[in-house]
Amino acid sequence: MNAPTLGKPLDRVDGPLKVSGQARYAAEYPADDLLHGSVICSVIARGRITRIDASAAEALPGVKRVLSHESRPPMAQDDESYEDDDAADGSPFRPLFNARVRYSGQPVALVVADSLELARHAASLVRIEYQQQPHATDLLQVLDSAHAAPAELPERRGDADAIIAGAPLRLELEYELPNEYHHPMEPHASTVIFQADGSLLVHDKTQGPQNSQQYLASVLKLDPARVRILSSFVGGAFGSGLRPQYQLPLAAMAALTLQQSVRVTLTRQQMFTFGYRPRTVQRLQLGAAADGRLQGLVHEVIGQTSRFEDFTEHVAEWSGMLYHCDHLRLAYRLAPLDVYTPLDMRAPGAATGLFALESAMDELAWAAGVDPVQLRLTNYAETNQNEGKPYSSKELRACYQQGADAFGWSKRSPQPRSMRVGDQLIGYGMATGVWEAMQMPASARATLTADGRLIVASATCDIGPGTATVMTQIAADTLGMDPARVEFRLGDSSLPKAPLQGGSFTVSSVGSAVREACLALAEQLCDAARQLPGAPFSDASALRFAGGRVQQGEDTERSVDLDTLLARHGSLEAEVQAQPGKLRERYASATHSAVFVEVQVDEALGTVRVTRVVSAIAAGRVINAKTARSQILGGVVWGIGMALHEEAMIDHELGRCMNHNLADYHLPVHADIGDIEVIFVDEDDPIVNPLGSKGVGEIGIVGVAAAVANAVYHATGKRIRQLPITLDKLL
């Protein structure tokens, strides 16, 4: 029998393809007579197109077409809805729909030519005239015009305002976060291969092949059966591929118009012309007893959105569940601007809301004269008060303990500016992280081939966390097979239905479907064994499949091996849909973390360096310790970038992002990152799903920015409530 594979640090099954350059991404697939498209983007933030002169471009040999709202193929009308699993409330933007300009950077034309170089040159020759209208892109200037967000907030508890007014300790705080952009390594691209029968085979950068399929079919009025989306490899996404981006319909429109294959790849600058983590202003009021015990809490959020859609996140809800507080009021409003709609970005809402909440809890700890870890233990929530439910599991106390021990938190000198090495002020900070542990309906198909290989398939994709590897482990473990004999197929809209890859629910959702499909196969094998002439069973009702054979209970002597069964029956196949279990409806489920950070701040220069991080995670059963650790490492790095580097600089006179490249849009590099230790706390959860897994994709970033900011305060005595923390703010 093969050793269990769950929890083992199995190497990535697609690793050799990636490191050898054999893995192909959306813009790397060849096609006969492939054309290339170059997108022209609006230079104004609001108004109308009055004239498009493409004559100079179209006169160039090799330029096939200039598509605009005046020359595009038919598209679904404004009032016709279409399928998009991550759409915001409102009227979704559709490229080249009409002459209206809604935001700076909006795609207004597509030049299609024999080569990318020619297409880009021709695009520079297209002349577009606009009628410009006044625009607004600064959230701080429109706060008073914000309206209630179409989001379900937990009902208020008690009378938070009155309780806070009479509390021994009262804090009123405001925090601000800028726009941030996803910037995966692979820019968004679509290669649309026009088939002889008029159907489309599309290689798309997406977090949901079936979502892209439904989008194209609906918007361009196509039969879904004639659109197939492939996304075998995705070079990162972080939420940017949850909604189909505009290169997909543009490439498809060009292919349908010219009846020829077309590729459209966005430039790095154009990666700043769609979704992003929205700028927010958060106001918190905390009322507490002298020992820091929360008595009342108010968390009010104003976030930006576009004028045509209301984008919402779960920003404030965490304040109602992470700590026990009987008097609570949450509010969430949106301010429409002449910008594109924001989009989910790693740990959407939680990374934003927890920065404010965990910074405020640190400020409360200082006000009460209580150690920040002790303050969190004092306010520990045994239940989720938002839902009025107990947790399926919660080992957050162990996260605090193990994280603090590994970090050396007890060595912290309590007073700000009291720790230094030479010219460097030393600061310790910590924060809590939380993310909902979700499960979505998902399907999978498992096939045992005649030669004894197991092929499992689902229409999920892999944006980098190691999905194919983990699903291979789940399938191999369920049937007791060698992972080398298992193949997981994904990234194809024609495969069994799967949800978008996001929200840290892929393993719990698709993994549960893979497990159930393999269990169904095991049952078929047992049925086949019962029918086998001369089978060595005395009790055929006690058969089970394990270790590559059907055996009677634990009796390996009374068994039939897999090869014998397959020789008689040929291949076997099972397809199932997995649903969240009814039992979990009675519980709240969440992943938790405790993040500890050490910073060094140069007293003369104001520069900040994160020298050490310890992140202790309680995420149920960790399926692959290696890939899970990598997810947390990436999240911590991003959290450091969020705290110290990332900020979209908007010129509000132009309504445009000015640092729209990776030289001026600052991100952490290797030299910015010190030691990172990841601890996975043991957490058994038989309720959340049969695998006991909660997911780790989002939790790694949550709380990191707050922990860094809290450490900066401990080092300097200066509280920075506006991210990123740059030297000008410290000095």
CA distance 453 to 483: 10
Buried b (16+ CB within 10 A) or exposed e, 501-540: bbbbbbbbbbbbbbbbbbbbbbebbbebbeeeeebebeee
DSSP-based helix, strand, coil % in the chain, nearest 5: 30, 30, 45
DSSP code at position 717: S
Q: How many residues does the chain have?
A: 731
Where does 531-579 have alpha helices with state H? 562-569
Amino acid at residue number 587: Y
Residue 508 token pair: 């719990």
Buried b (16+ CB within 10 A) or exposed e, 380-419: ebeebbbeebebbbbbbebbbbbbbeebebeebeeebbeb
Residue 57 token pair: 């471009």
CA distance 228 to 210: 8
- Exposed, middle or buried, 582 (CB in 10 Å: 0-12/13-18/19+)? exposed
Catalytic site residue from 395, 647, 683, 698 = 698
Closest CA to 47 of 129, 141, 140: 129
With a CB cutoff of 8 Å and minimum separation 6, the contacts of 248 are: 190, 202, 204, 206, 212, 215, 216
CA distance 59 to 125: 10
Where does 36-124 have alpha helices with state H? 55-58, 116-123
SS3 17: helix
Closest CA to 544 of 517, 564, 526, 558: 526
Closest CA to 497 of 463, 459, 535, 467: 459
| Structural contact between residues 210 and 225, judged by C-beta atoms closer than 8 angstroms | no
Clarify whether 573 is annotated catalytic. Answer: no
- The H or E element that residue 512 is part of is helix 506-530
Buried b (16+ CB within 10 A) or exposed e, 462-496: bbbbbbbbbbbbbbbbbbbbebebbbbbbbbbebb
| Structural contact between residues 186 and 26, judged by C-beta atoms closer than 8 angstroms | yes
Neighbours of 423 (CB within 10 A): 11
CA distance 300 to 304: 14
- The H or E element that residue 18 is part of is helix 15-19
CA distance 42 to 130: 9
SS3 365: helix
| Structural contact between residues 600 and 421, judged by C-beta atoms closer than 8 angstroms | yes
- The H or E element that residue 447 is part of is strand 442-448
- The DSSP-derived string for 394-430 is --HHHHHHHHHHHHTGGG--SSTT--EETTEEEEEEE
CA distance 314 to 332: 9
| Structural contact between residues 213 and 291, judged by C-beta atoms closer than 8 angstroms | no
| CA quadruple 128, 106, 205, 251: dihedral, nearest 10 | -30
Residue 348 token pair: 């959407």
| Residues noted as catalytic | 698
